[in-house]
Structure 1
Amino acid sequence: MYVVMIASECAPVSKVGGLADVVDGLSRELANKGHKVEVILPYYDCMNLSTIGAAINDFQNNSVQVSVQCNGKQLLSTVHSAVIHDNECFFIKPHSQERYFDRGIYYGQRDDDERFTVFCLSAVEFLSETGRRPDVIHCHDWQSALVPVLLKTKHRHSALSQTKTCYTIHNIWHQGKTSEKVLKMADLEQVVTGKDSIVDDSDHAYINLMKGGITYSDIITTVSPKYASETMTNQMGEGMQKTLSKYSDKYTGIINGVDYDSWSPATDKLIPFNYDIDSIEDKYKNKEHMRKKMSMKQDFKPIVSVVGRLDMQKGVHLIRHALLYSLNNGMQFVLLGSSPDKEIDIYFHHLKHYLKDNHDCHIHLSHDEELAHLIYAGADMILIPSLFEPCGLTQMIAMRYGTVPVVRNTGGLSDTVFDAEVSVKPVTDRNGFSFDDFSYDAVSLALKRASMTWHEKPHTFREIMLTGMRTDYSWGASADKYLSLYNRISGKW
């Protein structure tokens, strides 16, 4: 199978969030299984090319040049190449006075719609001009959603006409809503204007690039089965539920994988004491080390942790409540996170100052990779009270380290965490604690149940830890599911 990934991010060279890890992890696993994989990315001037060591090799400054028709003019792009984690990657650098990817930033520009339209046009042209004929092109989120549209319209009679497309939604909130100028830029006005295939469902004055990707792709995926069903509802579809329901026969959810080369307590170089299922007692050496590092009391108490972004999606008000509840109910609390929201950031800095003399608590309000690894290894529980969570990696990483997740039942959290007391799963599959309501009472009760189990049923708590450590959330199983979809749409099964 020959697969081309087209995306706006790929770790380690260009990473803003989980999308980058997915593109990298899935590509590597497919290659490990013997398939040919190439990745096409924008050439950002802020890419991480100098500090990633051996991850990137053979970077070519001038590989191929392609020309596309854009706004009635020819736009020239240079396509650079490199080998990243043994996969060949191509970086598209448009040459224009707009300097589309020379902004020192990945996203957040007023003309993001134009920037990624140029990227999609150039990516398809590069494949066409270089004679590449992938079996499947796998596109990710709205930034590459125009590719399936181009293949099924302008390129429907080209040599790429037999190539199938898979389109993955990583977060339904970000859809690429824009004006018809994008259709003009891409010379698609005569093909899609006035049709339901790409016009936004909520406001017909707008074009919706995600909707175009959904409509024109051969298969649609998202990053967990539960999130797939949730996004077809009025509560969580963000206006896309009608379109996703229409194409439900080609829509499915596949859980993301975890890179166990980076996240494994047995080999993790960022924790002081390595351990596995057979040496689980060494986990508590990390707990003791973490307390010393954070000037916390060495006490017979469970440590509840939070690792991640502090914003409304992550249930930031429930995190605040859980912190205070834990401290008032015989638990310790460790928080590692930062917020893009100024008001939230200010609040947590005030809270940190207020609790500065409390030795049952530690708050660290900036990203710290080494500290994240230590918290996964040293904490007893990890709290994830998200409003919504398409997939989530935090709970799967925590389980690998024997840290028990306490999560809200939504999205990928529901698909990976099964309550120790009330799950329909067999006892041998139960690996955490969960709650349904997005409320203070629900969080408090879940933490109370987890804490009581830790104190009163230590053997049960140990079995929950070990169940999580045994669970395989590596990319292997997820890649097999994607391969099954690729084979189905390309007629190779």
Structure 2
Amino acid sequence: MQYDRIRDLRALDATVNSYFDGKLFQNKVWTGTVEGLPVYFIEPHHPSKFFWRGQYYGEQDDFKRFSFFSCAALELLLQAGKKPDIIHCHDWQTAFVAPLYWDLYAPRGLNSARICFTCHNFEYQGTAPASELASCGLDAYQLNRPDRMQDNSAHDRVNPLKGAIVFSNIVTTVSPTYAQEVRTAEGGRGIHSTLNFYSKKFLGILNGIDTESWNPSTDMFLKVQYSANDLQGKEENKDSMRRLLGLSSADDRTPLVGCITRLVPQKGVHLIRHAIYRTLEMGGQFVLLGSSPVPHIQREFEGIANQFQNHEHIRLILKYDESLSRYIYAASDMFITPSIFEPCGLTQMIAMRYGSVPIVRKTGGLNDSVFDVDDDTIPNRYRNGFTFTTADEQGLNSAMERAFSLYKTDESWQQLVRKVMNIDFGWESSASQYEELYVQSVARARAAGSRT
């Protein structure tokens, strides 16, 4: 835990007991304030030490770990006498809350809430043998059915993500385009038929960024702070980063292309690799920050990094480094995100905040946040980057070549940079849409209650 981010952290006097595998286990509960909000932290006293593993995800017993957490969270609400209007769960790790709430906790008196479930990436569904449901007290016989939690492609397995879609009152994902894509056989990862059946309660709301944290005029990681009204500081950051990474600074008008990503197939790894070499051919510079959990991809990019180890125009840094990432956003002229699919994507929003013009593939949230400067069907005020449709080298080349061409017309490029920096990608719009959903759902529940 990042204790420095939590104010007034203290343990509650009472422990919360929760059932699991037919036994009662104690949970120590801590409370504190994070960014002005009260937050509860559950410390399970379970012999398996579910959350003392040194990593959040990727354990063999993740299904058990997160179903235990979901039980304990609901037990805390019940025992503390909380009466929430909305319980909002995210991703398969807390998807258990929806069936647990209706099957076990509403009958025990925790019955005031509507359940909202948000999936950030439908690739991750958490499926497991149906028998594992019994650990958290759910009835596998009742729930392992096609209209409930049974996985759509394996009848002896349950799918927590599907369970949340079935049992929640509101289901959302992180962009309108992604919400359409996952309702197709190609994009739905096996869950599309369920989403289509429940389409009336499913929609996409574009994510936002924390515009206070991501702000080039106050970002202390940068060499020089700057704003849309004063772009000189952006040039100074570019010069400074070139020196830091040992890149040539012979020509100030050489465009710098940035890329910050996890190197996984979803992110269009083959196109990122191509972009490195294409940038060099077109007389630009390229900086990549990121690493891969996939061994053969990590090895491949280590090979490219070694190839360009002392090159004056290319640098690959294969790790995660937040301070360097902010520096790259500030220093780069263009920012590339050639994803195969992208539920929302935040890097393109952050890049624009720092005056780096995005080059993206038209998919998911990228399609909802980046509009091509040459697209006459889009009002001019919304055009803010370069897009391509097909996930191949030809499509990427076209977008990159148009970006490099505009970069050479200095005044037009400066206007575009100022435009993208002034776009508001803050959370306010997303938050107001969620608030509206909450209010409507609660109102419907009360109206239904008054009729019975």
**Normalised by the shorter chain, which TM-score bucket?**
over 0.9
Checking the alignment, whether the CA contact within 8 Å between 2:87 and 2:113 is kept in structure 1 is yes
- Residue identity matched to 2:154: D
Q: Distance in 2 between matches of 1:71 and 1:357?
A: 57
Matched, 1:158 2:158: no
The TM-score normalised by the length of structure 2 is: 0.95
> Which whole-Å CA distance do the structure 2 matches of 1:187 and 1:288 have between them?
60
**How many Å apart are 1:227 and its aligned residue?**
0.6
Residue 283 (structure 1) aligned with residue 237 (structure 2): no
Deviating beyond 3 angstroms after TM superposition, the runs of 4 or more aligned structure 1 residues are 61-64
Q: Is the CA contact 2:210–2:427 (under 8 Å) kept in the aligned structure 1? A: yes
Distance 2:176 2:262 in 1: 23
Deviation at 1:186, TM superposition (A): 2.3
> 2:13, 2:36 → 1: CA distance?
18
Match of 2:130 among 167, 180, 203: 180
1:331 aligns with 2:284: yes
Q: 1-side partners of 2:285 and 2:376: how far apart? A: 27
* One of 23, 39, 51 as aligned partner of 1:73: 23
8 Å contact from structure 1 (residues 133, 159) kept in 2: no
Match of 1:354 among 283, 296, 307: 307
- Three-state SS of the structure 1 residue aligned to 2:429 is helix
SS in 1 for 2:330: helix
Q: Given the alignment of the two structures, is residue 233 of structure 1 paired with residue 184 of structure 2, yes or no?
A: yes
Aligned partner of 1:427 among 356, 380, 402: 380
Residue among 407, 423, 432 paired with 1:471: 423
Q: Which one is further off, 232-241 or 418-427?
A: 418-427
> How big is the shift at 1:187?
2.2
Return the offset for 1:193.
4.0
2:447 is equivalent to residue 460 of structure 1: no
Residue 35 (structure 2) aligns with:
85
State the 1:341 CA deviation. 1.6
Partner of residue 368 from structure 2, selected from 399, 402, 415: 415
Query: Greater CA deviation, 97-106 or 322-331?
Result: 97-106
1:57 — aligned with what?
A: 7
Aligned twin of 2:450: none
Question: How far off its partner does 1:388 sit?
Answer: 0.8
Judge conservation of contact 1:197–1:211 (CA < 8 Å) in 2: yes
Q: Percent same amino acid among aligned pairs?
A: 39
Please report the TM-score for the alignment, with normalisation by the length of structure 1.
Answer: 0.87
Residues 400-411 of structure 1 aligned to structure 2 (within 5 Å):
400-411=353-364
Deviation at 1:463, TM superposition (A): 2.4
How do 1:295-314 and structure 2 match up within 5 A?
295-298=246-249, 299=251, 300-314=253-267
Of 179, 192, 215 in structure 1, the residue corresponding to residue 166 of structure 2 is 215
- Paired with 2:329 and 2:231, the residues of 1 have a C-alpha distance of 13
Tell me which residue corresponds to 1:319: 272
Residue of structure 2 equivalent to 1:251 = 202
Is it true that 1:197 corresponds to 2:148 in the alignment? yes
Aligned-residue Cα RMSD (Å) equals 1.5
Of 260-269 and 72-81, more deviation after overlay is shown by 72-81
Superposed CA deviations along residues 341-388 of structure 1, whole A, max 9, x for unmatched, are 222122212212211232011221111222111111111000000111
Which SS does the other structure have where 1:406 is aligned?
A: strand
Aligned to 2:175: 224
In 1, are the aligned partners of 2:144 and 2:158 still within 8 Å (CA)? no
Q: Measure, in 1, the Cα distance between the counterparts of 2:153 and 2:402.
A: 42
What residue ranges of structure 1 are gaps of 5+ in the alignment? Answer: 1-46
Q: Is 1:487 the counterpart of 2:439 in the alignment?
A: yes
| Letter matched to residue 307 of structure 1 | I
Write the deviation string for residues 202-228 of structure 1: whole angstroms up to 9, x where unpaired. 111110001111110000010111111
Deviations 1:380-438 (A, max 9, x none): 00000011111111000000111000000111100000000026321121010000111
* 1:34-45 paired onto structure 2 within 5 Å: none
Question: Aligned letter for 2:106?
Answer: R
Q: Give the residue type in structure 1 aligned to 2:239.
A: E
Partner of 2:94: 144
